[in-house]
A and B are shown apart, each in its own frame.
Chain A
C-alpha cells in the first residue's frame, strides 16, 4: 500500500492507472500470455528438485516472473504475494484479505489464475508467473486492459489488477472449454461467442470489488470476448425502468 501511495502522481485517476499499467509492463517481451507460459512450463524440471536445508532459514529460489528470471533468498514462510511486493517491487498485485477471499492478489502461474497470497514463494521454483505488470506488450496494453479502461471497469483501482488477471485467465479458460457451476451442459461449455453475462459473473466470483465497479468489469470481459457490451447509460436506464415498473 505504501508503495502505491508514493507512486500516485497528481494526474487524474484514470490517467494514472493506464500509465501505471503500461509503464510497469514495458519490461516484458512475452508474446501472448498463455503461449509463453506453456513454452517455459515445458522446460521446467518435471521431477522433484530437492532443496538441502530443511531447518528454518532462508532458501534460494529462482522465480520466472514476467519473462525474467529472479534468484533470491527467502524464508519458506514468505508468500509469493509478499515476495512480489516487498522484494521484487512488483506492487501491482494487491494485498486485500491475505486469506484467499478477495482476489486482489490474483496472478497467473503456468497460465492459470491463482491467489498469490496462498502460495509460498519457495514452491514456485521454475514456474512461469505473470503479474499485471507482465500483461502489456511494451507500450501496447493487453486487450483486457484496454477493455477495462473503455468500459470504466474500475473506480479506486485497488481490485483492478486482480480483476484484469482473472479476466485474462477467464477468456483463456473459455477457449480451453472449462465449465463453471452454472454451465447447463457440461459436454458443451460456452464459447467466446455465446459467453453469457451470468457465466462471466460466476467465473469472476473469486474477485471482489469494494467500489462495485462490477457492471464495468462484466462489460470489459464482454468487450474482450468480442461482444458489444450494453452502454453504461442503458444499464442505468434499465435499472430505473425496472424500479418504476
Chain B
C-alpha cells in the first residue's frame, strides 16, 4: 500500500467536505474491498476518510411500509434482520450467498454497492486495463473472458459487477440515497450503476464528493415468494458466474407481476423488463418460464469464452421462477 493519511469523519457533512476538498482522498467503510485494492496499488489515496463510526447504522420502516437501510449497516445485519427475512427474503439470501461470514460481518451496504469488478486483468497491474487506466486497452475483450459480460459490454470494457446484494436490490426497485456538496438526492437503483461505454473507469453515476447514506426498498407484499439462485465454479465462497433474483406475485396459478434481475452478466445488475412484461398474467408453468428465459437472453452478446452463460442463464431463470412460483426458499 502507498502511505496515506487517515481521518475519522465527525459527521456526514464532514466526510463530504473532506472528500470534496481532496479529489485523491477516499472513503473507507468496512474496508473489505478498498484495503484489498490498495494492497495491489489499484488505489493510492492521499488520505482515507473513515466513515465507519457515523450514525448510518439503522434499519427503519419507511412511511409507505418499506425499509430504509443505512449505508453503514453490515451485510450480516441486513441478512439477519427479522423484517428483511420475512418481507424481502431474496435480499437476505442474496447477501448470504456472497463472500464469507468474516467478510459479511465487516462489509457495509454502501461499500457493497461500490465494490469494483473482479475482472482478473483489472486486478493484475501487469496488464493494461481501461477501467484502471483509461485508454490503455482491454485485454479481456479478446483474452480469457469466461467470467465476463454478455450484456451491455463495450469494446472498451467487458467486466461484470460482482455484487450479489445489488441484483436483489435491482429486482426490488430500491432507491439509493446520497448526499454531496450540492445536497441530498435519490437515485433509482437502475440508474445507479453504469454500462462501460467509453468511460469504464466510472462504475456509477455518483458525483465527486457524494456519499451514499442509505438504500430504501419500497413496500412489496409479494416479495416473500422470491428466490436468489447463484451459480458459480464452487458451491460456496465464490463470485457468481450467473445469478438470478426472481420475485413473483401469484394469484392462484397465475402470475400477477414478476420481477427478474440477473447477476454476472453485465457491468451492472441486469433487469429483464421484457421478460417481466411477458410473465404478467400468464400461467406459472415450465413453458411460460422457458419463453420468459428466451426473452430475457434475447439481446445477449457473448464473448469468445462465455457463450455457455447464455444457456446457463436460461436454465437458471427457469429454475428460479419455478421455485419462486411455489413460494420461494433455497434455490
CA distance A114 to B75 in the complex (A): 13
Q: Does B322 contact A (CB under 8 A)?
A: no
> Which of B5, B10, B79, B80 makes the CB contact (< 8 A) with A76?
B5
B103 touches A99 (CB 8 A): no
User: From DSSP, what is the main secondary structure of chain B's interface residues?
Assistant: mixed
A79 touches B105 (CB 8 A): no
Residue of B with least CB distance to A103: B102
Say yes or no: A113-B53 contact (C-beta < 8 A), given A205-B236, A205-B237: no
CB proximity of A47 to chain B, nearest CB, Å: 7
Q: Does A181 contact B (CB under 8 A)?
A: yes
Restricting to A99-136, which residues have a CB under 8 Å from any CB of B?
A: 99-100, 103, 106, 109, 112-115, 118-120, 122-123
Residues of chain B at interface, number, CB under 8 A: 46
Q: Mark B213-256, 1 if CB is under 8 A from A, else 0.
A: 00000000000000000000000110000000000000000000
CA distance A85 to B122 in the complex (A): 30
Which B residues are in CB contact (< 8 Å) with A183? 96, 330
A54 touches B50 (CB 8 A): no
User: From DSSP, what is the main secondary structure of chain A's interface residues?
Assistant: loop
B8 touches A50 (CB 8 A): yes
CA distance A57 to B8 in the complex (A): 15
B330 touches A206 (CB 8 A): no
CA distance A79 to B264 in the complex (A): 31
CB proximity of A178 to chain B, nearest CB, Å: 5
Q: Does A173 contact B (CB under 8 A)?
A: yes
Q: Mark A159-192, 1 if CB is under 8 A from B, else 0.
A: 0000000100110010011111111111100000
B35 touches A79 (CB 8 A): yes
B31 touches A179 (CB 8 A): no
B36 touches A99 (CB 8 A): yes
B50 touches A123 (CB 8 A): yes
Say yes or no: A119-B39 contact (C-beta < 8 A), given A48-B10, A50-B10: no
CB proximity of B143 to chain A, nearest CB, Å: 22
A120 touches B53 (CB 8 A): no
A57 touches B5 (CB 8 A): yes
B48 touches A76 (CB 8 A): yes
CB proximity of A156 to chain B, nearest CB, Å: 21
CB proximity of B54 to chain A, nearest CB, Å: 7
Restricting to A16-53, which residues have a CB under 8 Å from any CB of B?
A: 46-51, 53
Q: How large is the interface on A (under 10, 10 to 19, 20 to 34, 35 or more residues)?
A: 35 or more
B106 touches A118 (CB 8 A): yes
Which B residues are in CB contact (< 8 Å) with A181? 93, 96-97, 236, 330
Restricting to B45-92, which residues have a CB under 8 Å from any CB of A?
A: 47-48, 50, 52-54, 76, 79-80, 85-86, 89, 92
B5 touches A48 (CB 8 A): no
Say yes or no: A206-B100 contact (C-beta < 8 A), given A100-B32, A112-B105, A123-B28: yes
Residue of B with least CB distance to A185: B329
Residue of A with least CB distance to B15: A48
A77 touches B76 (CB 8 A): no
CB proximity of A83 to chain B, nearest CB, Å: 13
Q: Does A59 contact B (CB under 8 A)?
A: yes
B103 touches A48 (CB 8 A): no
Q: Does A86 contact B (CB under 8 A)?
A: no
Q: Does A98 contact B (CB under 8 A)?
A: yes
Q: Does A194 contact B (CB under 8 A)?
A: no
A77 touches B9 (CB 8 A): no
Say yes or no: A206-B101 contact (C-beta < 8 A), given A48-B9, A48-B54, A118-B106: yes
CA distance A3 to B2 in the complex (A): 26
Residues of A within 8 A of B (CB): 46-51, 53-57, 59, 75-77, 79, 98-100, 103, 106, 109, 112-115, 118-120, 122-123, 166, 169-170, 173, 176-187, 201-203, 205-207
User: A118-B103, A179-B80 given. 19 additional CB < 8 A pairs?
Assistant: A48-B54, A53-B5, A54-B7, A54-B18, A54-B47, A113-B102, A114-B102, A115-B102, A118-B31, A120-B35, A173-B101, A179-B85, A181-B96, A183-B96, A186-B85, A202-B236, A205-B236, A205-B237, A207-B100
